[in-house]
Amino acid sequence: MAAAVEVHDLVLHYGKTLALGGTSFAVPEGTVLGVLGPNGAGKTTAVRILATLLVADSGTASVFGLDVVTRADEVRATIGLTGQFAAVDEYLTGYENLEMVGRLFGVGKAESRRRADELLARFDLLDARDRTVRQYSGGMRRRLDIGASLIGRPRVLFLDEPTTGLDPRSRIGMWDFISDLVRDGTTILLTTQYLEEADRLADSIIVLDKGFVIAEGTPDQLKSQVGGERLEFVLADMGQAERASALLAPLGREPPSTDTQVRRVSMPVDGGADDLVEALARLKSAGIGVLDVGLRRPNLDDVFLSLTGHLVDEADGDRS
Contacts for 6 with CB less than 8 Å, ≥ 6 apart = 26, 27, 60, 61, 62
**186-234 residue pLDDT tens:** 999 999 888 888 989 999 999 998 999 999 999 888 887 776 788 999 9
Domain 3-224 maps to which CATH number in 3.30.43.10, 3.40.50.300, 2.60.410.10, 3.40.50.720? 3.40.50.300
State the span(s) of the chain assigned CATH 3.40.50.300.
3-224
CATH 3.30.70.100 for the 228-297 domain, yes or no: yes
Q: How many CA atoms lie within 13 Å of 51's alpha carbon, on the beta-carbon side?
A: 19
State the span(s) of the chain assigned CATH 3.30.70.100.
228-297
Whether the per-residue pLDDT at 316 is higher than 60: the answer is no
Cα separation, 237 vs 235, in Å, equals 5
**276-307 residue pLDDT tens:** 999 999 999 999 999 999 988 777 777 777 77
Express as a percent the part of the chain with pLDDT over 90: 60
Q: How many CA atoms lie within 13 Å of 188's alpha carbon, on the beta-carbon side?
A: 30
Whether the per-residue pLDDT at 319 is higher than 50: the answer is no
